[in-house]
A and B are shown apart, each in its own frame.
Chain A
Amino acid sequence: GAGVSQSPSNKVTEKGKDVELRCDPISGHTALYWYRQSLGQGLEFLIYFQGNSAPDKSGLPSDRFSAERTGGSVSTLTIQRTQQEDSAVYLCASSPELAGGQETQYFGPGTRLLVL
């Protein structure tokens, strides 16, 4: 597709359930990022993938959060045993390979997660 796509657009789940959020980056983009946008914390970096390198998971808030990127393309963010504080919009972005900082991060429309 032309842009970054994310699914589902909205997700309502019950506390304690696991959820999977999907991100399809722009074709050819080697870098992929996940951010979380919540009322209390604003926009926070979660995780970064670049090509075949080990991901930078430094922003993941707890071990209930994990992410993978298969075949250097699609990424899935998984939240296990969801808590109400996980309610937020999860944004995915992709960019071309780092080139002196000239790359732009292109964002998807996000997944709004509500944990009841």
Chain B
Amino acid sequence: AQTVTQSQPEMSVQEAETVTLSCTYDTSESDYYLFWYKQPPSRQMILVIRQEAYKQQNATENRFSVNFQKAAKSFSLKISDSQLGDAAMYFCAYRSGSGYALNFGKGTSLLVTP
């Protein structure tokens, strides 16, 4: 089974600064998808960004971007110009290209300070 590792249980960033959340994964597959989800205190998981493994270009969504290093099996999330509303749990997730279930990491709690 594929494992997803988020090595940072907690991270802190000041408003307007940039923070990077780490994620590594273990797989023998070549076709897969990677996701970052945000879970605020409301509990609802919200998709932040996704990356197809066959794409070399790193995905970007406004202030959110990823650094996808396929050979290193690394998928980090960069949040630029951090806002108070970015405070939440962030989960990295893997999905096999032939599957459907998301395999989540343990999460990183992001604190944003004024």
Contacts and interface: CB of A to CB of B under 8 A. Distances in A.
Given A93-B45, A110-B43, A101 B104 contact: no
A101 B45 contact: no
Contact of B104 (A33, A42, A56): A42
Nearest to B98: A101
A12 interface: no
A25 interface: no
Interface size of A as a range: 20 to 34
Contacts of B43: 89, 91, 109-110, 112
Q: Is the interface of A mostly helix, strand, loop or mixed?
A: strand
A59 interface: yes
A81 to B, nearest CB: 26
Interface of A: 31, 33, 35, 42-43, 45, 48, 50, 56, 59, 89, 91, 93, 98, 101, 104-110, 112
Given A42-B107, A104-B50, 12 more contacts: A33-B101, A35-B102, A42-B105, A45-B103, A56-B100, A89-B43, A91-B43, A91-B45, A101-B52, A105-B102, A110-B44, A112-B43
